[in-house]
Chain A
Amino acid sequence: QKEVEQDPGPLSVPEGAIVSLNCTYSNSAFQYFMWYRQYSRKGPELLMYTYSSGNKEDGRFTAQVDKSSKYISLFIRDSQPSDSATYLCAMTGSARQLTFGSGTQLTVLP
């Protein structure tokens, strides 16, 4: 079993839809949780960084962490074609090295 599980998709939604991306993990030592967006042939771009359980909102993006269930989510409201990318969840404990999910490929159709 992988430490971090992420549905690879692909996920296709119409413009304006709410997108829900999810990851589950098994390592209780993970304390810091991140979501990255990666466009084709580009490096990952940090979208959200969370530490505690609960919700964190930034514009159209909301990151949710449930440590008791070992489950994290990223919600994208009013999705746009420019949101089409691969979304990677990542997490770490005290070691600072990131453990990534496999990435979810998202396409937002105009």
Chain B
Amino acid sequence: GAVVSQHPSWVICKSGTSVKIECRSLDFQATTMFWYRQFPKQSLMLMATSNEGSKATYEQGVEKDKFLINHASLTLSTLTVTSAHPEDSSFYICSAIISGNTQYFGPGTRLTVL
């Protein structure tokens, strides 16, 4: 069964508003989670690495003030898209490592900014 959940599965918001996406590990503790975005017919692009109890590590080109990541507990990481604009519309996916180097992905959140 699913080991990583995301909420919401889809969200539509107005330009300028902020949207929070939750990523939860089910039945296991994840000290490290990852956030990706994916545009249609493209592969996953890593946005940031979320570490429990410390600041996230962002990939080059990803604005940390726009994409706020909080990993306050061992089972929950959140991604907040602040002041969203239409170009932020995308499919956002989180993943968690259970053991070793194997990442399990959440079902994804489709964000549409009007």
Interface residues of A (CB under 8 A from B): 32, 34, 36, 41-46, 49, 88, 90, 92, 96-98, 100-103, 105
Contact = CB atoms under 8 A, between A and B. Distances in A.
9 contacts: A43-B93, A43-B106, A45-B105, A90-B103, A98-B46, A101-B43, A102-B42, A102-B43, A103-B42
Interface residues of B, number: 24
B97 to A, nearest CB: 6
Contacts, number: 49
Main secondary structure of the interface of B (DSSP, over half): strand
A96 B102 CA distance: 8
Interface of B: 4, 6, 32, 34, 41-44, 46, 49, 91, 93, 95, 97, 100-108, 110
B102 A44 contact: no
B20 to A, nearest CB: 18
Nearest to B9: A41
**Residue of B6, B32, B42, B105 most packed against chain A (CB within 10 A):** B105
